Structure 1
């Protein structure tokens, strides 16, 4: 039987990732399970970042937070290892992207705290089930993401621009897309902007700040959702000495069922 990321379990996919056998973007993987963005910071910054997430729930809806020094997300995937179980990581040093790598064991010290933040990949399955295709899946690339002019609410030293993900939606499907994603407030919920990127400071849809550009066809409008890559934009703005994140589009797959966060 051919390998299918969509029908594989979270544990199966995490094992393949840990063994270096699968490193693709996770959109469409492990259908039915919550995916999450990752941010890892030393303890002296952890409280302010927790407060930042609480003040910016649209961009940074918290799924899980590790104990200090622990790399195990006890509430969302107790058999997982956040140092190895994401397809790709980014390392920011003093606000600059220093490197991308496939594991971070040597960087996870006893004072690190890991934050898992809800990801819009979780509600994509519901959109597809309602007949709304995902263009980045069709074109075999990563979802496009953009920095915006929407400011986040400051907490301690953390502040910066909101990042959004964009999906082209047929005009006649926009209302349904809003209805579907509104059922998932813990993974960004309803869109923040529809059809007018200039209103939120986006000047060129062919030049995303993260991810890849996708085709927008006649009769489609760009729809923008708050994105868990926002902490990476904040890292560039605030410049902490060290911050570990997921690489955009390469999420942590939890053991939590998507249905548990769906508002009926």
Structure 2
């Protein structure tokens, strides 16, 4: 029997059942060995723009799966996309109107869902290589920031790059780059190492999403492209309706992490 106090040992089905029952928690460290994903669901008439936006911005938007219109599952996510994530965000005309435990009542018959790679997927590999992952140590959500780097626009969508940040000891930055570069389907290598100001980030203690984490002496802030980027595009571009995951509260898929490793 799976230890209920060890979320890293849960299967995707077991984790999704907990979220469906109402557990609301960031998913970093959950279901070791299984891929986590960002969610963005939009009406069918916006789906091509989202797909094109992802194609033009593969770093923050690596697409793992796309559903048929109206479908609530896929071969790569056998749960219910409306209920089996810990928390969701609902946007109308770019405004966040609700953060809820499920979106059953808001899911339209023409919704197309995109599952986009998440950097939580490579965190086990970082830990195995001896690289600390501070938000796991602190039991908090990863800090995420809007940058002043513009993504390539696509159709009606445009917006800034969003990044996640993990402080890494200076002596281990090269290891972090080497490890994560082997996972291009879940953001891959960092997009920036060092000065937050170079990305237009004014204060690491004030993330736009998630929670701040301690950056200790001798550590360097390392930034990875983040799958919240499509939600930032929704906020800027103001489509009539979009549904996403609450940042850090991911879809746990049926895809093994090992499927994403490249030599």
- TM-score scaled by structure 1? 0.97
Match of 1:18 in 2: 20
SS at match of 1:51: helix
Aligned counterparts of 2:172 and 2:44: Cα–Cα separation in 1: 44
Structure 1 segments, 4+ long, off by >2 Å, are none
Q: Shift of residue 57 of structure 1?
A: 0.5
Q: What is the alpha-carbon distance in structure 2 between the residues aligned to residue 91 and residue 106 of structure 1?
A: 11
Q: Quick one: distance in 1 between partners of 2:4 and 2:82?
A: 28
* Cross-structure match for 2:179: 180
Write the distance in 1 (CA, Å) between the matches of 2:73 and 2:244. 15
Distance 1:3 1:81 in 2: 24
- The alignment's C-alpha RMSD in Å is 0.8
- 1:38-66: CA deviations, max 9, x gaps? 00000110011111111110000001100
Q: Which residue of 2 aligns with 1:254?
A: 253
The equivalent residue for 1:239 is: 238
The CA deviation at 1:3 is 2.5
Question: How far off is 1:117 after superposition?
Answer: 0.3
**Rounded Cα–Cα distance in structure 1 between residues aligned with 2:5 and 2:18:** 11
CA distance in 2, matches of 1:136, 1:128: 12
> Aligned equivalents of 1:170 and 1:241: distance in 2?
44
Deviations 1:91-118 (A, max 9, x none): 1111111110000011111110000000
Question: How far apart, in 1, do the equivalents of 2:159 and 2:140 lie?
Answer: 27
- Aligned: 1:65 with 2:39: no
1:1-264 equivalent positions in 2, closer than 5 A: 1-20=3-22, 22-74=23-75, 76-77=76-77, 79-264=78-263
Q: Deviations over 1:173-216 (max 9, x none)?
A: 00000000000000000000001111111111111000011100
- Listed as ranges, the gaps of 5+ residues in structure 1 are none
Find the residue that maps to 2:171 and give its secondary structure.
helix
What TM-score comes out, normalization by structure 2 length? 0.98
Distance in 2 (CA, whole Å) between partners of 1:157 and 1:2 is 44
Give 3-state SS (helix, strand or coil) of 2:176's partner. Answer: helix
Q: Secondary structure at the match of 1:133?
A: coil
Distance 1:60 1:73 in 2: 18
Out of 218-227 and 230-239, give the one that drifted further.
Answer: 230-239
Task: Note the alpha carbon deviations across 1:146-183, whole angstroms, 9 max, x for none.
Answer: 00011101110111100000000000000000000000
Shift of 1:69: 0.7
Report the alpha carbon displacement of residue 2 of structure 1 after superposing the two structures with TM: 4.3
